[in-house]
């Protein structure tokens, strides 16, 4: 089955990588369910792609009933779920000595529990179909720890572990798994940074070739996601690390 016929659910589709992926897959003829908390943004993507079959869902990935409703709504609309892209995430950067309990809780709930909620909702459908593809956005910070990113990195290492476990459990059931691990990408992710000094420092670094944060466009990550979805049935790209060429 080519990308054109696939039913793809994107969690965290309202901006950045998720929105760019939604638009690209819509142009390539996939049937889409777009989910996030900002329904107005999802509706804009749907209106911007009038030729495409798109369902939109207001959903908070930390709430399992919201995520279940996205999967149930997708099956009701399109009859199957070929791909779930667990992409929702936040990155409130802070050193651990800031004891940011609320940020930690929110980040664990969205970046880790949100991924588990997506897997839990989609897996029964995929197992029944005897095919499926779970794609999850980790990060280069799921492979290395940068000063100041300990808690965020922890969530992204966790996501890699969960996805490798899923691969071991479900590959025999014809379910593909892919970890997408971007380096720096120009998106709204920095809006979740509450520490203003950290935020402005990072925003400047994103524009400097050779810096740790020199950034790609979200559309470039979307191309990578489209590529892994469009692979032949017998081929799974399990991990893809994508850095800007000049990122440190
Ligand atoms: P954005 O902030 O642009 O996008 C984040 C998306 O996550 C939005 O659609 C947002 O939607 C959604 N989201 C956040 N919280 C929730 C929630 N509780 N329920 C549902 N959706 C939620 O940033 P990016 O596109 O950069 O982020 C996408 C992923 O990429 C994240 O997992 C991030 O960690 C990862 N990443 C990003 C990198 C970068 O440099 N930008 C690098 C490496 C990884 P809404 O607020 O409407 O709910």
Strands 54-58 and 31-36: parallel
Maximum C-alpha span of the chain: 51
Give yes or no for residue 212 CB within 6 A of ligand 1.
no
The pLDDT value recorded for residue 212 is 65
Ligand 1 pocket check: which of 189, 214, 244 to mutate, most ligand atoms within 8 Å of Cβ?
A: 189
CATH number of the domain where residue 173 is located: 3.40.50.720
Closest atom of ligand 1 to 14 CA is: 9
Ligand 1 pocket check: which of 36, 110, 191, 241 to mutate, most ligand atoms within 8 Å of Cβ?
A: 36
Question: How sure is the predictor about 154, in pLDDT bands with cuts at 50, 70 and 90?
Answer: very high
Which residues neighbour 86 within 8 Å (Cβ) at sequence distance 6 or greater?
Answer: 11, 12, 61, 114, 115, 118, 119, 134, 135, 136, 137
The pLDDT value recorded for residue 207 is 75
Give yes or no for residue 247 CB within 6 A of ligand 1.
no
Domain that holds residue 123: 3-242
User: Can you say how many angstroms the Cα of residue 20 is from the centroid of all Cα atoms in its chain?
Assistant: 11
Whether residue 248 lies inside any domain: the answer is no
Smallest CA-to-CA distance from 109 within 149, 53, 63 is with 63
Whether residue 30 lies inside any domain: the answer is yes
Cβ neighbourhood burial of 20 (10 Å; 0-12, 13-18, 19+) = buried
The pLDDT value recorded for residue 147 is 87
* Cα separation, 213 vs 141, whole angstroms: 12
- Domain tally, the chain: 1
Active site residue 143: no
* Cα separation, 102 vs 122, whole angstroms: 29
* Cα separation, 187 vs 178, whole angstroms: 21
Whether residue 155 lies inside any domain: the answer is yes
Structure tokens at 37: 């908390």
* Cα separation, 198 vs 211, whole angstroms: 15
pLDDT tens digit string along 16-34? 999 999 999 999 999 999 9
Element (H, E) at 218: helix 218-229
pLDDT tens digit string along 30-58? 999 999 999 999 999 999 999 999 999 99
Whether residue 247 lies inside any domain: the answer is no
DSSP for 22-34, please give it.
HHHHHHTT-EEEE
Give yes or no for residue 117 CB within 6 A of ligand 1.
no
Give yes or no for residue 162 CB within 6 A of ligand 1.
no
Residue of minimum CA distance from atom 44 in ligand 1: 139
pLDDT tens digit string along 192-242? 998 888 888 788 777 777 776 679 999 999 999 999 999 999 999 999 999
Give yes or no for residue 62 CB within 6 A of ligand 1.
yes
Element (H, E) at 220: helix 218-229
């Amino acid at each position: 089955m080519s990308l054109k016929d696939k039913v793809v659910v994107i969690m965290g589709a309202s901006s950045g990588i998720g929105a760019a992926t939604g638009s690209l897959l819509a142009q390539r003829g996939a049937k889409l369910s777009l989910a996030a908390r900002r329904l107005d943004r999802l509706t804009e993507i749907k209106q911007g792609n009038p030729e495409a079959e798109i369902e939109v869902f207001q959903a908070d990935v930390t709430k399992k009933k919201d995520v279940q409703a996205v999967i149930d709504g997708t099956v009701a609309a399109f009859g199957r779920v070929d791909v779930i892209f667990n992409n929702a995430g936040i990155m409130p950067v802070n050193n651990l000595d800031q004891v940011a309990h609320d940020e930690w809780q929110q980040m664990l709930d969205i970046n880790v529990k949100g991924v588990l909620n997506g897997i839990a909702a989609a897996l029964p459908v995929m197992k029944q179909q005897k095919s499926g593809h779970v794609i999850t956005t980790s990060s280069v910070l799921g492979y290395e720890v940068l000063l100041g990113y300990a808690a965020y990195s922890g969530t992204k290492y966790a996501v890699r572990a969960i996805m490798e476990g899923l691969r071991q459990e479900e590959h025999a059931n014809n379910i593909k798994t892919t970890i997408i691990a971007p380096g720096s990408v120009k998106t709204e992710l920095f809006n979740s940074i509450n520490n203003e000094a950290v935020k402005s420092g990072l925003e400047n670094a994103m524009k400097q070739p050779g810096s740790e944060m020199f950034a790609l466009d979200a559309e470039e990550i979307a191309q990578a996601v489209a590529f892994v979805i469009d692979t032949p049935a017998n081929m799974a790209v399990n991990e893809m690390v994508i850095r800007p060429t000049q990122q440190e």
